[in-house]
Copies of this chain bind each other. A is one copy, B any other.
Amino acid sequence: MKIKFFTTGGTIDKVYFDAKSEFEVGPPQVREVLQEANVVFDYEIESILRKDSLDLTDDDRQLIRQRVEAEPCSRVVVTHGTDTMVQTGQALAGIADKTIVLTGSMQPARFRVTDAVFNIGSAIGAVQSLPPGVYIAMNGRIFAPGRVRKNREKNCFEEVAAG
């Protein structure tokens, strides 16, 4: 079994550069997560972008869509900032024959207390279990992009009526 990982940035990949006193998106953190988890499936990690998801443009979303469409592997996980994950999920609608799961985290993977590892795990459990389509894996649930939103006050994802 093979899974392709595309990374786009977001909180999950934020690291601290002391020299610059800056906290910025760094290299894909999913790599270390997979190594520590000692996964036994084949995988490839491709970094498409390194942006806060609030800074993603429609062109960026089209770029992500093109890369996913062009990818031969039928199981795709996309790590992404949480703020506009739903929007990107919707931009990936209708891609044939692929199970695509988007995930990210509220606390960076580099933190001692983080949701990153759990979320990546849940996306991986889901991507090999679900039929083709696009899904969001956050806060332990698997959502359809048309029926979920990020609740900023409660700082979590929740189901909404289809729309």
A142 touches B128 (CB 8 A): yes
Q: Is A40 an interface residue (CB 8 A)?
A: yes
B152 touches A19 (CB 8 A): yes
B107 touches A18 (CB 8 A): yes
User: In chain A between 109 and 158, which residues have their CB closer than 8 angstroms to a CB of chain B?
Assistant: 110-115, 117-130, 137, 139-142, 152, 155-158
Cα distance A79–B158 when bound, in Å? 26
Chain B nearest Cβ from A138, distance in angstroms: 8
Most buried by B among A119, A128, A130, A140: A140
The interface size bin for chain A is: 35 or more
Cα distance A121–B139 when bound, in Å? 10
Question: Given A40-B139, A52-B21, A156-B38, does the pair A125, B115 have CB atoms closer than 8 Å?
Answer: no
Cα distance A146–B34 when bound, in Å? 26
Q: Is A50 an interface residue (CB 8 A)?
A: no
Cα distance A110–B11 when bound, in Å? 15
Q: Which residues of B contact A11 (CB under 8 A)?
A: 16, 18, 21
- A135 closest partner in B (C-beta): B129
Q: Which residues of B contact A113 (CB under 8 A)?
A: 36, 110
Cα distance A139–B124 when bound, in Å? 10
- A35 closest partner in B (C-beta): B113
A122 touches B119 (CB 8 A): no
Sorted from nearest, which 3 A-B pairs have the closest CB atoms?
A121-B121, A125-B125, A39-B140
